[in-house]
Structure 1
Amino acid sequence: MGSDTSILDRLYTMDGGPEVCRDVYADWARDYDRDTLEGMGYVGPALVAEALAEQVAPTAEVLDAGCGTGLAGAELAERGFTTIDGIDVSRDMLDVAADKKAYRKLAEADMTAPLSIPDNSYDGVVCVGVFTNGHVGPEAMAELARVTRPGGVIVATVHENVWDKENYADHLAAMEDAGRLKVRQTPIAPYHLKENYQCRLCVLEAK
């Protein structure tokens, strides 16, 4: 797909909804792991997996929302999680995720729309690399809370470029006021080490 910088430029200026997103990731699926882990120093998947492992037992049923090529699923599996489902908008990325053998099931899903997952389906949810420029907005947090069982934990990264611009703090506070979740913590954390990007690591408890 070109240099790491051109990849990020294309990703962070996407406009056109899920179809454009599918096209971008179809082009990138086979090189994604190498380009992000080696080229960008992408630590988001490891961060969310470690944060979830600190909150729930490895016997938990976990949803990897926006799983991409399965980097977070692989990190969860390394930490002993055995029941992980993944959803993503890109079939090409899901095909790569399947090769990692970390998932119970994988399915296509558009996170800009309601998910076809019943309420209270999971003990934990991870979501890394989704809440960023040109991808999915803060309103999708409501769906993640909906599919998480009361007392379950959601761990999500929010790119530093959109945290303030898209009012994530206010959105989460409103959800907390409405009794939909509890905000446990939202610290600043590393994201792309080589690109010097940071994120907010959101640890949320579903209600």
Structure 2
Amino acid sequence: MTDNTLGHVGEGLAARFDATPADVAALYDDWATGRYDADLATWGYSAPGRAADMVLKLLSTSTSDGPVLDAGCGSGLVGVQLQQRDVEQVIGGDFSPASVETARSRGVYRDVVELDLNDPLEFADGTFRAITSIGVFSYLADSEATIRELLRIVQVGGPVVFTQRTDLWNDRHFDQLLSDLVSEGICDVTVSPPEPYLPLHPEFGTVIEIRYATLIRR
């Protein structure tokens, strides 16, 4: 991808939240075949392991069967962490073809499919026993629609775990969005305090952090 606001892929990320879906896919197609994993490691990215720990704890009290969906799996970092914790039957999905191929090549997923979280999802109600969506919501055009779709396809009692940047959490009114879902009786919600996102990144540092949201479908 050529973008005069980026310099090289990875720069200018704090301002990429308003990019079009096509631009985001192009960015990640380029990045996934280059330095994606190395860049995130350099910037101190720990969200995949943190999310996998959360899912493992939630599943330890569950007796349900079914696959786990890693929605917006990118290159497969969450899938690697889930496999290391013996969470099995994980399906990855992403709308960047290069990311799909990279995630598939890791051998940690039962399957990896092309998946656009901006659109209705072609899964039946209650397909998954748990869903993760880590580092994805910055780029979604309609967060509410996506969250409702994820809650539709997770089993009753199953968790949807996602992250959102602290600046966008406020700008996009996530507190109100999640409060409305609770009021409608769709899910129960737990939200973490701000936690590190990319603490060694020159733009993010400690200025932009993330929250982890856990939604349990009723």
Q: 1:137 to 1:199 in 2, by over 3 A?
A: farther
Q: TM-score, normalized by length of structure 2?
A: 0.86
Distance in 2, matches of 1:178 and 1:9, equals 33
- Partner-residue secondary structure (3-state), 1:184: strand
Residue 70 (structure 1) aligns with = 76
Aligned length: 203
- Partner-residue secondary structure (3-state), 1:76: helix
Q: Show CA shifts across 1:91-117 (max 9, x none).
A: 100111012111011111111111111
- Partner-residue secondary structure (3-state), 1:50: helix
Distance in 2, matches of 1:129 and 1:143, equals 17
Pair 1:56-2:59 in alignment? yes
Q: How does 1:148-167 map to 2 (within 5 A)?
A: 148-167=154-173
Amino acid at match of 1:11: R
Query: Residue 101 of structure 2: which of 95, 99, 103 is its match?
Result: 95
Distance in 2, matches of 1:96 and 1:3, equals 20
Report how far residue 90 of structure 1 moved: 0.5
Q: Show CA shifts across 1:67-108 (max 9, x none).
A: 000000100111111110011111100111012111011111
Pair 1:29-2:32 in alignment? yes
Pair 1:115-2:115 in alignment? no
Structure number having the greater strand percentage: 1
Percent identity at matched positions?
28
Distance in 2, matches of 1:26 and 1:11, equals 15
Q: Mind listing any 5+ residue stretches in structure 2 that lack a counterpart? A: 1-5
Q: Mind listing any 5+ residue stretches in structure 1 that lack a counterpart? A: none
Report how far residue 2 of structure 1 moved: 5.3
Point out the structure with max Rg over C-alpha.
Answer: 2
Amino acid at match of 1:21: V
Distance in 1, matches of 2:50 and 2:66, equals 18
Amino acid at match of 1:173: S
Query: Residue 41 of structure 1: which of 40, 44, 52 is its match?
Result: 44
Q: TM-score, normalized by length of structure 1?
A: 0.90
Residue 198 (structure 1) aligns with = 209
Report how far residue 185 of structure 1 moved: 3.2
Q: 1:7 to 1:33 in 2, by over 3 A?
A: farther
RMSD between aligned alpha carbons? 2.0
The answer (yes or no) to whether the contact 1:131–1:137 under 8 Å persists in 2 is no
Amino acid at match of 1:170: Q
Distance in 2, matches of 1:6 and 1:72, equals 23
- Partner-residue secondary structure (3-state), 1:162: helix
